[in-house]
């Protein structure tokens, strides 16, 4: 579903997009390390390059810009209010937005980028920089507009993560990672008063839910990609090594079989519904499922920036609680953080100076106070200060983000979220975890398919 709003007299929905088209020092270092592995010149690129020429924002002539983002309703509302404030500051600049839910969003944006029809200002996933602009061809080097965007508000580590082909192709909106959220109202109905803090707690919860509440109730619900991330947390915690390092998967087939059997144990013990069960329910995302809304699915494993989306979806959200990270082994905490999303200017943009002004307004200026934590805890120092001064940082998101970044200690492979792996229709993760849950593959077959798929993506980007 897509919606559009108009800002200014001439604002209209972005037709070209419609036609063409989801900190601790250790966490920041891990993300920086991942980016540096993929881009050897990242350290050089963080130096603030002076613009080749001074830029002046046009405040008189009519200017039209487009912007696109994905997210939930509360994020849409925040962006709209921020864009209205931007138009008040620059009445001559009209901004036409296009936005929608995540489902199917990347496919539309990749088509738009391929045709050079992306929005002028684009909310991007971190991996898009590597996947769609590996030589810097699709997004502007924002250092060229450092007299418009105050890049000093972001740490070098954060900028490193968005530097590909010696080009700062986006500024990071926030840093994020995965954590558990629980609907404690349902847990208490099952006789459980404390959030799960261990694997044994999860298994016990699955048994209690089934026995006391019935077969339709589960303490946790996770999709295909969620299963891949949770399995990675498990493996890294147990074996103490990153999933991918130096562009090579560090895990043997036997170790991956162990990880897959861990996921299977959650199904077998009624901790999570099987994929056939979830698919039969017929929903695009867990927060929109009736099972989540009614409390039958009482837990999720999601990005820290998603806390309010899941809380607000509940019919009774009084028991919504940020959980604890679960350490599944004694070798490491496991898990990773990443740039939650970035904001970029497409190379096809006809007004990059004004587009840069919009980015600075949203994440360093007055707009940051309006955006608050709708896209996660702001990575910009000025943005975070503005959001906190406006009391616009949601406590749940801050709590979740703080817990995540204090826990995770592994680097994230830049290609972990490649569409060839992550695509919800025919990606490798979907094939593996759906096929394994349906019984089409045994653990050995699923492990072989997963490793072959990951190795294929890594080899293609070597």
Mean pLDDT in residue range 439-451: 98
Q: What is the pLDDT of residues 290-303, one digit of tens each?
A: 999 999 999 999 99
Q: What is the pLDDT of residues 393-432, one digit of tens each?
A: 989 999 999 999 999 999 899 899 998 999 888 999 999 9
Is the CATH code 3.40.190.10 the one for domain 192-286+328-337+408-460? yes
pLDDT at 15 over 60: no
Mean pLDDT in residue range 234-245: 97
Angle at 425 between CA 424 and CA 429, to 5 degrees: 55
DSSP letter, residue 378: B
pLDDT at 52: 65
Q: What is the pLDDT of residues 49-81, one digit of tens each?
A: 667 679 999 999 999 999 999 998 999 999 999
Q: How many helices (H) and strands (E) does the chain have?
A: 21, 12
pLDDT at 24: 34
Q: To which residue do tokens 């009519």 refer?
A: 62
Q: To which residue do tokens 């350490």 refer?
A: 327
pLDDT at 461: 85
Q: Where are the domains of the chain?
A: 63-175+338-404, 192-286+328-337+408-460
Q: Which of 37-46, 128-137, 222-231, 254-263 has the lowest mean pLDDT?
A: 37-46
Q: Which helix (H) or strand (E) holds 326?
A: none
Model confidence band, residue 3 (pLDDT cutoffs 50, 70, 90): very low
> Which structure tokens are listed for 29?
């270092």
Give yes or no on whether 63-175+338-404 and 192-286+328-337+408-460 have one common fold: yes
Q: What is the pLDDT of residues 102-112, one digit of tens each?
A: 888 999 999 99
Is the CATH code 3.40.190.10 the one for domain 63-175+338-404? yes
309 neighbors 300 (Cβ within 8 angstroms): no
pLDDT at 48 over 70: no
Question: Which residue did the predictor score with more confidence, 179 or 29?
Answer: 179
Mean pLDDT in residue range 307-323: 96
Model confidence band, residue 8 (pLDDT cutoffs 50, 70, 90): very low
pLDDT at 11: 33
């Amino acid at each position: 579903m897509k919606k559009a709003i108009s800002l200014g007299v001439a604002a209209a929905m972005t037709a070209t997009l419609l036609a063409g088209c989801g900190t601790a020092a250790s966490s920041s270092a891990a993300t920086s390390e991942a980016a540096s592995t993929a881009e050897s010149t990242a350290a050089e690129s963080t130096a603030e390059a002076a613009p080749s020429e001074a830029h002046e924002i046009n405040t008189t002539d009519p200017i039209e810009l487009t912007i696109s983002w994905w997210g939930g309703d509360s994020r849409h509302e925040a962006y709209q209010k921020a864009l209205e404030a931007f138009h008040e500051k620059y009445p001559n600049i009209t901004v036409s937005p296009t936005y929608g839910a995540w489902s199917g969003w990347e496919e539309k944006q990749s088509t738009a980028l391929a045709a050079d029809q992306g929005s002028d200002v684009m909310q991007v996933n971190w991996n898009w920089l590597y996947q769609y602009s590996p030589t810097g061809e699709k997004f502007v080097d924002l250092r060229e507009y450092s007299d418009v965007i105050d890049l000093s508000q972001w740490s070098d580590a954060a900028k490193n993560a968005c530097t590909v082909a010696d080009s700062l192709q986006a500024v990071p909106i926030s840093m994020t990672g995965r954590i558990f959220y629980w609907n404690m109202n349902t847990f208490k109905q099952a006789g459980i008063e404390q959030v799960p803090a261990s694997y044994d707690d999860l298994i016990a919860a699955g048994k209690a839910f089934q026995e006391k509440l019935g077969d339709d109730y589960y303490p946790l619900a996770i999709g295909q990609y969620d299963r891949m991330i949770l399995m990675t947390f498990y493996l890294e915690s147990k074996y103490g090594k990153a999933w991918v390092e130096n562009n090579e998967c560090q895990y043997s087939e036997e170790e991956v079989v162990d990880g897959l059997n861990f996921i299977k144990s959650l199904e077998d013990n009624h901790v999570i519904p099987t994929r056939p069960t979830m698919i039969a329910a017929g929903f695009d995302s867990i927060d929109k499922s009736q099972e989540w809304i009614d409390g039958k699915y009482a837990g999720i494993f999601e990005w820290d920036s998603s806390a309010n989306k899941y809380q607000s979806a509940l019919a009774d959200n009084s028991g919504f609680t940020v959980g604890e990270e679960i350490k599944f082994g004694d070798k490491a905490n496991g898990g990773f953080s990443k740039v939650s999303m970035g904001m970029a200017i497409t190379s096809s943009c006809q007004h990059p100076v004004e587009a840069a002004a919009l980015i600075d307004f949203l994440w360093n200026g007055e707009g940051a106070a309006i955006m608050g934590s709708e896209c996660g805890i702001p990575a910009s120092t000025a943005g975070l200060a503005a959001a906190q001064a406006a009391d616009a940082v949601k406590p749940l998101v801050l709590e979740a983000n703080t817990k995540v970044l204090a826990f995770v200690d592994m680097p994230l492979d830049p290609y972990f979220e490649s569409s060839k792996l992550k695509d919800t229709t025919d990606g490798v993760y979907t094939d593996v975890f759906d096929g394994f849950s349906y019984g089409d593959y045994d653990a050995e077959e699923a492990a072989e398919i997963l490793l072959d798929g990951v190795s294929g993506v890594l080899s293609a980007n070597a």
